[in-house]
Structure 1
Amino acid sequence: MFSRRTFLQSTVAAAGTISVLPCLANAKGHDLQFADGAVRLTPVSHASLVIETPMGVIYADPVGDPAQYADLPPADLVLITHHHGDHLNNETLAAVMREGTTLISNKGAHDKMTAELADRAEVIGNADTTRFGPIGIDAVAAYNTTEGRLKFHPKGRDNGYVLTIGGMRLYLSADTEDVPEMRALKDIDVALLCMNLPFTMDIKAAASAVNEFKPSVVIPYHYRGKDGGSQDPIAFAGLLDSAIRVEQGDWYGKGKGMV
């Protein structure tokens, strides 16, 4: 049976792919070993990523130039968290969908899809569960709680996701603040956590939540903001408990500012 201890031991053993805090890895892809095989997370941009697993290839919020995905394995499952333009683009989504690809979305994004895409989508809401073959999918509430930000992500509309892949549990926060539903998560092995202002939260709130639900590994993403609201993922790492490992990804391309 896979355990968090097994996960930590096996990731440390994967030479050259993951380093333990206080070292911070900067890599285009993250190779994570666990009892049922390897999972590779490839940042595409901002909130878009590809997760390769032994059970299938998962695309999360694919947007941008479809050419960005040309060298990546085709999608077996696509997850959409909500309808904002940095998470849903119908042209990109249509390009990465192939015959047999499963599409899962919240209702808000489903309502913004083309008719053809909407017909293919399974809609789930906060606290709903579903499966993609052996992969369990739990929708986690993602919303704003701070006055002045409530309009961006109202409570009850948007999804984060917890994926159970074999014995590994991966949390994709989507756009949210440090809400109780996040803080209550248990046994998360890998967490991808947003942080930007004014749309989500700052690094102090993000770190406070991570220190409470204690994932084994956290990967900051979605940290470019507006009007000075970009957050520093390296400063975020410095706020975490020493037992929590941090992976830094190439979300915005070298030479474009922060890692």
Structure 2
Amino acid sequence: MELVHLGHACVVADTGSARLLFDPGAFSQGYETLEGLDAVLITHQHVDHLDVEKLPALLERNPGAELIVDPGTAEQLREHDIAHTVREPGETFTVGGAGVEVVGHDHAVIHPDIPRIRNNGYLVDGTLLHPGDAFTVPERTPDVLLLPTAAPWLKVSEAVDYLRAVAPPLAVPIHEAVLANPELHYGMFRNLAPQGTEVRVAPRGMAVAS
């Protein structure tokens, strides 16, 4: 599998049988000109994961791509008349030649006074997990975890605990755009990762093989 991190939560995954784009949001760049996508998968409705204004042009460049979203995001898309498919936790489906399982349920708590929204995590071929904004631990260990680094709902100790709970062979940090110096967090991941887990930073726009 080849991964390209386009900043923050946005990642292109080429499984060899499907080309998938996750979370093209407002804090990411470079996804606007992508072609040959089989699917665009949105974990939840926040603007750093979904830029509704840029989405129609992306889909126009990829007429064969299925837009897959959580129920909360679907409400936004209906307002903009953007065709989509709603998937919920517990569902499994195939896109391109890849099998996808929807995991998790809710966004992590930002503050008790802020209502929680829906959040889909996506487990691709049982090997790659994009958790969105949640600490979902799948029933089976993925080969690659896209690891959230920093957010209003996240502190570094929680990210380390999540990394240890999933304990994948490879972790690729994402969701870093709110930081001025993400290397500080990356160093903690490397130093505190569970035995057998490699933490590999994917520079923006550069392909990384898993």
2:8 to 13, 23, 46: 46
Name the residue aligned to 1:116: 81
Task: Quote the residue 2:36 is aligned against.
Answer: 74
Output the CA distance in 2 between the equivalents of 1:152 and 1:239: 32
Residue number in structure 2 paired with 1:249: 202
Report the structure number with the largest CA radius of gyration.
1
Structure with the larger strand share: 1
Question: Which of 121, 124, 142 is the equivalent residue of 1:188?
Answer: 142
1:48 and 1:137, CA in 2 relative to 1: closer, same or farther beyond 3 A? same
Q: Secondary structure at the match of 2:127?
A: strand
SS in 2 for 1:249: coil
What's the offset of the Cα at 1:238? 1.2
Indicate which of 1, 7, 23 corresponds to 1:61.
Answer: 23
Q: Answer whether contact 1:225 1:231 (CA < 8 A) is retained.
A: no
Q: Which amino acid aligns with 1:185?
A: E
8 Å CA contact 1:57, 1:73 repeated in 2: no
Q: Which residue of 1 aligns with 2:69?
A: 105
Q: Distance in 2 between matches of 1:144 and 1:88?
A: 17
1:136 deviates by 1.4
Q: Which residue of 2 aligns with 1:18?
A: none
Give the alignment's TM-score, normalised by structure 2: 0.82
Q: Distance between the aligned counterparts of 1:151 and 1:252, measured in 2?
A: 34
| Cα separation, 1, equivalents of 2:86 and 2:175 | 24
Aligned AA (2:88): G
**Alignment partner of 1:129 is 2:92:** yes
Structure 2 contact 18–38 (Cα < 8 Å) conserved: yes
Q: What amino acid sits opposite 2:191 in the alignment?
A: G
1:95 aligns with 2:57: yes
Q: State the match for 1:171 in structure 2.
A: 129
| Matched AA of 1:104 | I
Q: Structure 1 residues 55, 139: closer, same or farther in 2, change over 3 A? A: same
Gaps of 5+ in 2: none
Question: Deviation of residue 242 (structure 1)?
Answer: 3.0
Structure 1 pair 240–136 and aligned structure 2 pair: CA distance change class (3 A): same
Once the two structures are aligned, what percentage of the paired residues are identical? 24
Q: In structure 1, what is the equivalent of residue 107 of structure 2?
A: 143
**RMSD of the TM alignment (CA)?**
3.0
Aligned residues: 202
